[in-house]
Amino acid sequence: MLNDYQKSRRNFIKNAGLAVGAGVAPSCTGLSNIAAALNPTSLSVQPQLTHGVQFGDVLSDRAIVWSRADRPGRMLVGYSFNPDFNDAKLIQGPLATVHNDYTARIDLTGLPAGQDVFVQVMFHDSNNHRALSQAGHGYFRTAPAHMKSIRFLWSGDTCGQGWGINPDIGGMRIYETMRLTDPDFFIHCGDSIYADCPISESQPVHETGDVWRNIVIPEVTKVAETLDEFRGRYKYNLLDHNLRRFNAEVPCVWLWDDHEITNNWSPSKNLQGDARYVEKNIAELKTQGTVAALEYAPIRYYSASQSQRIYRKLPYGPLLELFVLDMRSYRGPNNYNRQTQPDADTAYLGREQLDWLKAGLKNSTAVWKVIAADMPIGLQLPDGLDEQNRRQFENFANGDGPVLGREFEIAELLAFIKQEGIANTVWFTADVHYCAAHYYDPGKARFKNFEPFWEFVSGPLNAGSFCPHPLDDTFGPQLIFQKASPSPNQSPLSGLQFFGQVDIDGDSRVMTVALKDIEGDTLFTQDIYPSA
């Protein structure tokens, strides 16, 4: 039975229009009453919030609030700790301009810990300040200051392999399934778009003989090469009412992988043989794709001098600290990955990020240190052949055997964790389009200088499902559970779409990890007990 506060929050959702997934309400109560005092003669021709409201990088005292207008305008953010919104405060945010594709964000600061925050977002038209948009609504919870139970989700891989927004099945339904779990936040482990996968009006479903229909806009009908085409990929995903409603209620911790630019990209990516691309320069594609990604992701910019830095830590109360990795930006070229000594070509996290991670883990006072990664550690992910006909690899793993190539970095990290007595590290990742639980056991590893740990894999969210990958025995990963497709690129109609749910109990401090499917059914659970 709902208590009075839960009922009032449900009423806020219903009255704000979130219950129908718009994230934009026809009513302008609350914030508009304040804004009306500034502009009492609003015109009938109003700016529009085109893609809802998003929240991100929530801490105990702050959160990113993101939205997008349809024209130049100034962002206004009203917030309240009361779902009736009768004590709202108004903050004037930045300008949304053509230079940032009319996106805007504000770092809402000075918030109390462990509090539900109700938000309304509006835009003033830059060309006529009497023109005021209707309000976009949402809410989030700030991180707790005390030992309070936490629930978060993770997954990855949205709109891949041409499987886009299908109106026949209600769009990307997994986002609604995840919303209904009432999480504190969601970690999107990368491939938030598929810039290299065109989306057509329809495509065959090979496993059933059915036809999959897509909503289509011009920007997704070809591979993304220009800034506007990369931007269009994010706008396309936000056409889905399930995703907009999810974004308005569940803060995101965003990281990226390869498809935000193109498949398996690294500095050595060669597009000369790919006739789909006119722009063959991977550095140019990376530049344009990065701009679009950071415009549309609800991420807190690290600093003025490192505005494109993605790796970061997010303390979430005494129970949890998140370490968000970037396994794409600092890697050397994808290669055969079996060098006997570390060098520039074996870089993966890169020295600066690796040292940052080691220091952060050592200094963390949280019970659980969660590492959010865009790729798994021990699954072998091939990337074609090099000029000498040797297999190339996408991630750390390079086949059974001793530590070689990119594995030097993970060996250094794991040995450091053991040496410093850092307890309770758990890895969460996506990328491979199936779900799995891996237990890394030094007793069964070639490299033994580390403490056992868990890695959990989930996804896709709305993309093709794929077959499992072989494990590399260097760090002793044991396959505890997996559910994967029996054939490559099965459509979302197969039901093989997955997300993970993590519950940390505020009293016992036990972490319970569940792997779930698109219907919300639990496929696997694992309790992990914290070290003393």
For residue 151, what pLDDT is reported?
A: 98
Cα 129 to Cα 97: distance, rounded to the nearest angstrom:
15
Q: How many CB atoms lie within 10 A of CB 43?
A: 12
Confidence of residue 45 (pLDDT cuts 50, 70, 90): confident
**Lowest mean pLDDT: which of 67-71, 86-90, 445-449?**
86-90
The count of structural domains within the chain is 2
Helix (H) or strand (E) holding 361: helix 351-363
Residue 146 in domain? no
User: Two tokens at 469?
Assistant: 């990958």
Residue 393 CA to residue 377 CA, distance in Å, equals: 12
Structural tokens at position 195: 């810039």
Q: What is the pLDDT of residue 35?
A: 53
C-alpha 472, offset from chain centre = 26
What's the sign of the alpha-carbon dihedral 484, 487, 488, 494?
A: negative
Residue 405 resides in a domain: yes
Task: Please tell me whether residues 474 and 500 are part of one structural domain.
Answer: yes
Is a pLDDT exceeding 80 seen at residue 9? no
CA distance 375 to 457: 9
Inside any domain, residue 327: yes
pLDDT at position 104: 98
Question: Could you read off the pLDDT of 73-99 as tens digits, one per residue?
Answer: 999 999 999 988 888 999 999 999 999
Confidence band of 129 (pLDDT split at 50, 70, 90): confident
> Measuring CA to CA, which residue among 134, 17, 138, 35 is closest to residue 91?
35
Residue 32 pLDDT greater than 70, yes or no? no
Average pLDDT, the chain: 93
Q: Which residue carries 């794709």 as its tokens?
A: 289
Helices (H) and strands (E) in the chain, counts: 8, 25
Claim to verify: residue 473 and residue 504 sit in the same structural domain: yes
- Tell me whether residue 436 is in a domain: yes
pLDDT of residue 73: 96
The per-residue pLDDT for 304 is 83
**pLDDT-derived band at 16, boundaries 50, 70, 90:** low
- Alpha-carbon distance 443 to 401, whole Å? 15
Q: Give the separation between CA 123 and CA 7, rounded to whole angstroms.
A: 29
- Tokens representing 299? 């991420």
Stretch 91-113: mean pLDDT, rounded?
97
Question: Is residue 137 located within the same domain as residue 194?
Answer: no
- Tell me, what CATH number does 410's domain have? 3.60.21.70
* Spatial separation of the C-alpha atoms in residues 286 and 283, rounded to whole Å: 5
Task: Establish if 514 belongs to a structural domain.
Answer: yes
Helix (H, G, I), strand (E, B) or coil at 442: helix
CB atoms within 10 A of CB 356: 17
Position 172 scores a pLDDT of 98
Q: Tell me the per-residue pLDDT of 206-260, one tens digit each, with 9 for 90 and over.
A: 989 999 999 999 999 999 999 999 999 999 999 999 999 999 999 999 999 999 9
Whether 164 and 255 map to the same domain: the answer is: yes
Task: Check whether residue 382 and residue 457 sit in a common domain.
Answer: yes
pLDDT value of position 80: 96
Higher-pLDDT residue of 129, 395? 395
Percent of the chain exceeding pLDDT 90 equals 88
Confidence of residue 72 (pLDDT cuts 50, 70, 90): very high
Residue 19 and residue 43 share a domain:
yes
Residues 514 and 455 in one domain: yes
pLDDT at residue 128 greater than cutoff 90: no
pLDDT of residue 263: 98
Amino acid, res. 16 = A
Q: Is residue 488 part of a domain?
A: yes
Nearest CA-CA partner of 128 in 92, 74, 66: 74
Considering the entire predicted model, what is its pTM? 0.94
C-alpha–C-alpha distance, residues 24 and 46, integer Å = 13
Single-letter residue type at 500: G
Regarding whether 28 and 95 lie in a shared domain, the answer is yes
Q: What pLDDT score does 2 carry?
A: 47
Q: Whole-angstrom Cα distance, residue 288 to residue 296?
A: 13
User: How buried is 520 (Cβ within 10 angstroms: 0-12 exposed, 13-18 middle, 19+ buried)?
Assistant: middle
Dihedral sign for Cα atoms in the order 357, 361, 365, 369: positive
If pLDDT is split at 50, 70 and 90, which confidence band does 7 have? low
- For residue 28, the model assigns a pLDDT of 39
Asked if residue 501 and residue 387 are part of one domain, the reply reads yes
Is residue 306 in some structural domain?
A: yes
Q: Which of 141, 167, 194 is the last residue of a domain?
A: 141
The stretches of 131-216 forming alpha helices (DSSP H) are 174-179
| Residues 432 and 483 occupy one common structural domain | yes
| Final residue before a domain boundary, out of 111, 141, 171 | 141
Least confident of 142-156, 231-245, 301-315: 301-315
Residue 188, both tokens: 């999107």
CATH number at residue 82: 2.60.40.380
pLDDT surpassing 60 at residue 130 = yes
> Do 159 and 137 share a structural domain?
no
29-43, 156-170, 240-254: the lowest-pLDDT one: 29-43
Range of the domain at 496: 151-528
What residues pair up with 139 in beta bridges, in sequence order? Answer: 118
Closest to 49 in 3D by CA, of 81, 91, 16: 16
Tokens of 165: 């927004």
pLDDT at 10 exceeding the cut of 60: no
SS3 percent helix, strand, coil of the chain, rounded to 5, is 20, 30, 50
Q: What is the pLDDT confidence band of residue 11, given thresholds at 50, 70 and 90? A: low
Domain end marker among 84, 111, 141: 141
d(CA 154, CA 156): 7
Could you write out the three-class secondary structure of 92-141? EEEEECHHHCCEEEEEECCCCCCCEEEEEEEEEECCEEEEECCCEEEEEE
Check whether residue 203 and residue 348 sit in a common domain.
yes
